Amino acid sequence: MIFEGFKIKQHNLENKQSICQVKYTKDFFSNYSKHFHDKLNINLIEEGEILIEFKNNRKEIMKPKQFSIFRPDEIHQTKPIKKTTGYYSLYFDNQLIENYLPIVLNTNVIDDEVLYSKLLNISNSLLYKKENIDKKILDFLEQLSLKYFKNVKEDVKELILINDIKEYIVTNIDFPPTLDEISKKYNLSKEHIIRVFKKELGLTPHAFITNYKINQAKNLLLTNSLKSLSEVAIETGFYDQSHFSKAFKRVFAITPSKITK
């Protein structure tokens, strides 16, 4: 894995208690493992092609002038299939998108050159701290939602169950419940819980917990530069810094030390 020209910035919107993050890499050669983000994630590239894999083996390809969208907690994996340069990844927290939840999409890759240009402009504005960023972000999300989001209430028994279990896990994330404890609380077999998790999220409960902790750690590193990596590792429930760094790299394809630079 090689990262050249790496940058990451976080922006706090003035009139909202919400944040937007942007990550940029000039050259992108990394194959991420299956993972999710706790925020709405939108990505674009300037050159190359990226293969995106989802649960149930669904695949899409992202090219220049297109952008990809991943809902919070949506499992995915990205692999470059051609030399890829100018990779931007933006994260919009849930307070920014709360009016659009739950987000339902017909496709995760959007072919819209106008919105692509707006997104590229927002990315560079965030990286170089230009003016009127808040308005650009809010206008983009509004146009994106009007054209591509479907605000549909999903009344599916298994989805309701999985959201309930996720809430239970997150509420107790400092001492995550074991599979046995989840099974006992919901009066379901461990096999059934694993099956539902894999069907709806593409992950086992254990993998979901690890991904959630890694997202917590990333947010801590971005918002508290005084904390050491070992402190963040312990605070987010990892055994040691080495275990934490390996898990972080599997999810984000960079070491946590890159975030703190």
pLDDT digits (tens, 9 = 90+) for 79-104: 889 888 899 999 998 888 877 666 77
What confidence score (pLDDT) does residue 102 get?
66
**How far apart (Å, rounded) are the C-alpha atoms in residues 18 and 96?**
6
What pLDDT shows up at residue 16? 64
Q: Which architecture does CATH list for 157-260?
A: Orthogonal Bundle (1.10)
Residue labelled with tokens 């298994």 = 158
Residue 57: left (phi > 0), alpha (psi -120 to 50), or beta?
Answer: left
The model carries a pTM of 0.68
Distance CA 149, CA 176 (A): 33
What pLDDT, on a 0 to 100 scale, did the predictor assign at position 28? 74
Q: What tokens were used for 224?
A: 């508290």
Please report the pLDDT score of residue 101 as a whole number.
66
Tell me if domain 3-151 and domain 157-260 are identical in fold.
no
Q: Cα separation of 70 and 89, whole Å?
A: 11
Q: How far apart are CA 93 and CA 172, in angstroms?
A: 21
Question: Mind giving me the DSSP string for 227-245?
Answer: S-HHHHHHHTT-SSHHHHH
In the prediction, which pLDDT does 194 show?
92
> Distance between CA atoms of 229 and 240, rounded to whole angstroms?
9
Domain boundaries, given as residue ranges, for the chain: 3-151, 157-260
Cis link prior to 205 (omega < 30° from 0)?
A: no
Cβ neighbours of residue 135 closer than 8 Å, sequence gap 6 or more: none
3-state secondary structure of 246: helix
Domain 3-151 listed as CATH 2.60.120.10 = yes
Residue pair 173/209 in contact by the 8 Å Cβ criterion: yes
Q: Digits of tens for pLDDT over the chain (261 positions)? A: 334 467 888 888 876 678 899 999 888 766 677 889 989 999 999 999 999 998 878 899 999 999 999 988 888 988 889 888 899 999 998 888 877 666 777 789 999 999 999 999 999 999 987 778 888 998 999 888 888 876 555 445 777 788 899 999 999 998 999 999 999 998 888 888 998 898 888 889 999 999 999 999 988 888 877 788 888 998 898 888 888 988 888 888 888 888 766
Write out pLDDT tens, residues 6-33: 788 888 887 667 889 999 988 876 667 7
Helical H segments across 128-204, by residue range: 133-148, 157-171, 179-186, 190-200
Q: Count other Cβ atoms within 10 Å, centred on residue 20.
A: 24
Per the rule left: phi > 0, alpha: psi between -120 and 50, beta: everything else, 202 is left
